[in-house]
Amino acid sequence: MKKEQLEELLSQLTTDEKLGMIHGNELFATKGVERLGIPPFITSDGPRGVRKDFNPDNWNEIGQSYDYVSYLPCNTALTATWNRELAHQTGQVLGKEARGRGKDMILAPGINIKRSPLCGRNFEYLSEDPVLTAEMAVALIKGIQQNDVAACVKHFVANNQETNRLHVDTKVNERTLQEIYYPAFRQSVQRADVYSVMGAYNRLNGTYCCENNLLLKEVLRDQWGFEGIVISDWGAVHNTVDAGQAALDIEMSVFDNFDEYCLAEPLKQRILDESVDMACLDAKVRNILRVMFKLKMIGKEAVHRKNGSYNTMAHRQVLKKAAEKSVILLKNDSKLLPLGNTCL
């Protein structure tokens, strides 16, 4: 993809068409631009396998036979293998199955650092250790993205508790961010070239993560060189002007009032009254188009995009091996643990 091609395509889009690309038009998809050959961007959960399809505007399952995909070991189990190659193979399975189901982005892996045992999504996350998390995440992402589907590391950043997880203000000093919370995300960007990052629900030091330009622009884009899509967690955007000006590209939510999302009709009004510059909208669309070209979704390369497959015997064998290798047996050498025969 040449920059000239991207800019030419961007120049042909109307304001309404651009807006349709940056927010949900269905619960798991944005709006395409048919006249220019730009398809909708279709996403799906998640770390444990491609999620069942829902109706476009409600959470009732469609119930198709293609819903029966492979079921992956949870990320915690996979990380317990300490096996990068197995993580890579598992990523390949997830990427192939996402493409086999017609998805453009799989909302995985979950790489939040485990800090509280009460976090309801710990099973989706890799580890409490930033180095181990980074190593396994890089392998997973590379495996996923070999299949012309975007991985999406989540949730950026410090979304580690269940209580008030949609609005909690996580207070974190700079050293802790750099040593604990950032490394896995940074490595995902710089070593794995991840195509998407999901912004978290919570506030970070007073500002919602999906509206936080210190986090999304200065750190993620300027310092780390991220050129992919920043997508919100579902319902994590709260303010049109803040989100419009922030380095957030796609807003998703759990409700069907798609035109009322912050980055939908309300953003159009803020652009018209010049509260938000048109350049902010163009930057969002530019990032989306860049990833679409990488995924062979548009342009001449689209005919060469991989089709994927799901629930094959080969996939099951890889996942069975991953599950088997995740089982850890501990030896009580030197009787470090006070366990007697009565405990056996």
- CA–CA dist 289, 295 (Å, integer): 10
- CA–CA dist 275, 280 (Å, integer): 11
Q: In this predicted structure, what is the pLDDT of residue 343?
A: 53
User: Average model confidence (pLDDT) for the chain?
Assistant: 95
Using the predicted structure, report yes or no on whether residue 60 has a pLDDT greater than 60.
yes
What is the maximal distance between C-alpha atoms in the chain? Answer: 76
Q: In this predicted structure, what is the pLDDT of residue 64?
A: 76
Enzyme catalytic residues:
233
Instruction: Determine the average pLDDT of the residues in 132-140.
Output: 98
- CA–CA dist 79, 47 (Å, integer): 12
Q: In this predicted structure, what is the pLDDT of residue 335?
A: 84
Using the predicted structure, report yes or no on whether residue 95 has a pLDDT greater than 90.
yes
Q: How far apart are the first and last CA of the chain?
A: 62
DSSP letters spanning 278-314: HHHHHHHHHHHHHHHHHTT-SSGGGGG------S-HH
Q: In this predicted structure, what is the pLDDT of residue 16?
A: 98
Instruction: Determine the average pLDDT of the residues in 13-31.
Output: 98
Q: Please state the φ and ψ torsions of residue 267, each to the nearest 5 degrees.
A: -70, -35
- CA–CA dist 232, 201 (Å, integer): 8
Q: In this predicted structure, what is the pLDDT of residue 256?
A: 97
- CA–CA dist 177, 212 (Å, integer): 15
Q: In this predicted structure, what is the pLDDT of residue 1?
A: 58
Q: In this predicted structure, what is the pLDDT of residue 304?
A: 95
Using the predicted structure, report yes or no on whether residue 2 has a pLDDT greater than 90.
no
Percent of the chain's residues with pLDDT above 70 = 98
Per-residue pLDDT of 105-119, as tens digits, reads: 999 999 999 998 889
Structure pTM? 0.94
How many CB atoms are located within 10 Å of the residue 172 CB? 16
| Band (338; pLDDT cuts 50, 70, 90) | confident
Which run of H or of E encompasses 44? strand 43-44
Using the predicted structure, report yes or no on whether residue 344 has a pLDDT greater than 70.
no
Q: Please tell me the number of Cα atoms within 13 Å of 19 on its side-chain side.
A: 21
Q: Structure tokens of 162?
A: 């269940």
| Band (59; pLDDT cuts 50, 70, 90) | very high
Which of 53-67, 170-184, 248-262 bottoms out in mean pLDDT, i.e. has the lowest?
Answer: 53-67
Which of 95-99, 120-124, 212-216, 230-234 bottoms out in mean pLDDT, i.e. has the lowest?
Answer: 120-124
| Band (291; pLDDT cuts 50, 70, 90) | very high
Q: In this predicted structure, what is the pLDDT of residue 341?
A: 66
Q: In this predicted structure, what is the pLDDT of residue 219?
A: 98
Looking at this protein, which amino acid is placed at residue 196?
S
- CA–CA dist 282, 205 (Å, integer): 28
Instruction: Determine the average pLDDT of the residues in 47-64.
Output: 91
Q: Structure tokens of 22?
A: 């940056």
| Band (342; pLDDT cuts 50, 70, 90) | low
Q: In a 3-state reduction of DSSP, which class is residue 329?
A: coil
